[in-house]
Amino acid sequence: MIWAGELATGLIPQTFLSQGALRPDLTVFTALIGLMFVVGLLCGLAPARHAASVDLRSALAAGSHSVASEPRTMRVMVGVEVALGVMLLVGAGLLIGSLLRLQNVDPGFRRDAAVIASFTLGSAPGSAYETPHGREQFYDRLLETVASTPAVQAAGVTSSFPFGFSPNALLDTEGILLGEWGRAPETHYRLVGGNYFEALGTRLAAGRLFNSGDRAGAPLVAIVNEATARVLWNGESAIGRRVRQSNMDGISEYATVVGVVADVRHRGLTRPAVSEVYFPYKQRPMRTYSMTLIAQTGLDAAAMTDAVRAEVKKIDPGVPVKFESIGTRLDTQLAGARFRTRLLTAFAVTAVALAAFGIFGVVTYSVAARKREMGIRLALGARAADVRRLVLRRALTPVLIGLFVGINAALFTTRLLSGLLFGVSGNDPLTFAASGALLLMTAIAAAWWPAHRATRVDPLTTLRVQ
């Protein structure tokens, strides 16, 4: 049980475990023992009933000359094992395909080494960061210090990093009457500064990025993503358009769009990009209580974290900071999909293994029970290939029936997985075909050795047995 707990701990992502490895639980252990007892009792009833139904007088009279066959219950159990196995294989195959596609999704930013540091500045009366100007000075100094570090290629700050919370509001566009338009986009907005887009690795699609001239007192500017440009201006150029979100921080003036950047999947890898607008934090410093620094670097995350922490202490050792990496954020996004895939794959492998052992056992029993029949067939001139084919055909009959039932059942059960799939249809024909083929090959491999042994029966020795 302890070994099983360690195995389960390996399957479960660390983000799902609150207190390290799983620990043995007496209640679970007792319940499993009881379940094993019940299953063993139920599985033993059918053979016991079959044995009790045999006519002892007829069996003794027939002696060893009778031709035996495996009970029908054994063949039914093989079919059930195969049906359950193919259902689990299909589910595991769909989740594996979904995970592979999810891992290849373009999030709109670089996946390589980058350090993320989240800051929350105090705003209590008398605090150095009570006013927007005080907070702005902190981030200006932070960016200047971090960007000057030799290993840092680019550094920037944002009010909302990908996969985190981001506020949204209706985007007002000059020249479009919202009442007549009827579909004003609920746009997520972000404050950014420094070389944020370069550090994140977000592609510039048109226009320019923010620069040092986009500061307080200068004309208000904004950058929109491609989704916003498509929705608002239907493929026309967004550069020079004027937008505003007056309920964002009380600024009612329009900002001129100076650039368009690629879409970023801020809400998660499985969710499409939404309408977004970026503003320079120097022009809208009201909501800068909490900001996130991103530093793109060639160093490993641990070394860069130490360097950034040292620089923050120089500026203000009392500011709380939380470090992580882009890789950690991405792993968190994929953790649920990986766990579901690992768990169902483990169940599928177990089911296929049980089906293989079941087929092997049933065919071995059948060959042993029909040994005299095989000897007679070989004595009468049957070829070894004919005997092997006979055994395989009888062994694979319940397998094919189980495959048919399991595939049809999977067509319905995979609907339960539809909400967990990404980029894969619940009725993906390739997955169904591959699962069926894998289980069929496993069944043939399990039945082949007993079938081969049936051809090695010595006819003379068999016929001498009385």
- Burial of residue 123 (CB within 10 Å: 0-12, 13-18, 19+) is middle
CA 328 – CA 324 distance, rounded (Å): 7
- Give the residue ranges of DSSP H helices in 63-166: 72-103, 132-147
Q: Per-residue pLDDT for 64 more than 90? A: no
Q: What is the mean pLDDT of residues 434-463?
A: 78
Distance set, CA 167 to CA 48, 157, 175, 321, 349 (Å): 68, 16, 24, 22, 45
DSSP summary character for residue 194: E
Which pLDDT band, with edges at 50, 70 and 90, does 191 fall under? very high
CA 15 – CA 111 distance, rounded (Å): 19
Burial per residue of 218-238, b for 16 or more beta-carbon CB atoms within 10 angstroms, e otherwise: eebbbbbbbbbbebbbeeeeb
Strand partners, 207: 259
Tell me, what's the pLDDT at 164?
Answer: 78
Q: What is the mean pLDDT of residues 395-399?
A: 85
CA 154 – CA 139 distance, rounded (Å): 15
Q: Per-residue pLDDT for 215 more than 80? A: yes
Q: What is the mean pLDDT of residues 185-195?
A: 86
pTM: 0.74
Question: What size, in residues, is the chain?
Answer: 466
Q: Kindly give, in sequence order, each residue whose CB lies less than 8 Å from that of residue 55, ignoring residues fewer than 6 positions away.
A: none
Tell me, what's the pLDDT at 67?
Answer: 44
Tell me, what's the pLDDT at 58?
Answer: 56
State residue 189 phi and psi, 5-degree precision: -120, 150
pLDDT digits (tens, 9 = 90+) for 402-434: 999 999 999 988 888 888 888 888 889 999 999
Tell me, what's the pLDDT at 49?
Answer: 65
pLDDT digits (tens, 9 = 90+) for 298-346: 777 777 788 888 888 888 888 888 888 787 888 888 888 888 888 888 8
Q: What is the mean pLDDT of residues 377-388?
A: 72
Tell me, what's the pLDDT at 184?
Answer: 56
Q: Per-residue pLDDT for 250 more than 60? A: yes
Tell me, what's the pLDDT at 354?
Answer: 84
Q: Of the spans 63-72, 77-86, 102-111, 274-283, which averages the highest pLDDT?
A: 274-283
Q: Per-residue pLDDT for 192 more than 90? A: yes
Q: Are 184 and 172 in contact (CB under 8 A)?
A: yes
Which pLDDT band, with edges at 50, 70 and 90, does 50 fall under? low
Calculate what percentage of the chain has a pLDDT beyond 70: 79
Cα 200 from chain centre: 24
Which pLDDT band, with edges at 50, 70 and 90, does 350 fall under? confident
Mean residue pLDDT across the chain: 80
Calculate what percentage of the chain has a pLDDT beyond 90: 18
Q: What is the mean pLDDT of residues 162-180?
A: 70
Q: What is the mean pLDDT of residues 349-357?
A: 86
pLDDT digits (tens, 9 = 90+) for 126-149: 678 888 888 888 999 999 988 888
Q: Kindly give, in sequence order, each residue whose CB lies less than 8 Å from that of residue 212, ignoring residues fewer than 6 positions away.
A: none
Tell me, what's the pLDDT at 53?
Answer: 62
**Residue 453 belongs to what H/E stretch?**
helix 429-454
Better-scored residue on pLDDT, 439 or 318: 439
Q: What is the mean pLDDT of residues 349-354?
A: 87
Q: Are 138 and 315 in contact (CB under 8 A)?
A: yes
Q: Kindly give, in sequence order, each residue whose CB lies less than 8 Å from that of residue 169, ignoring residues fewer than 6 positions away.
A: 186, 187, 189, 245, 247, 248
Q: Per-residue pLDDT for 43 more than 70? A: no
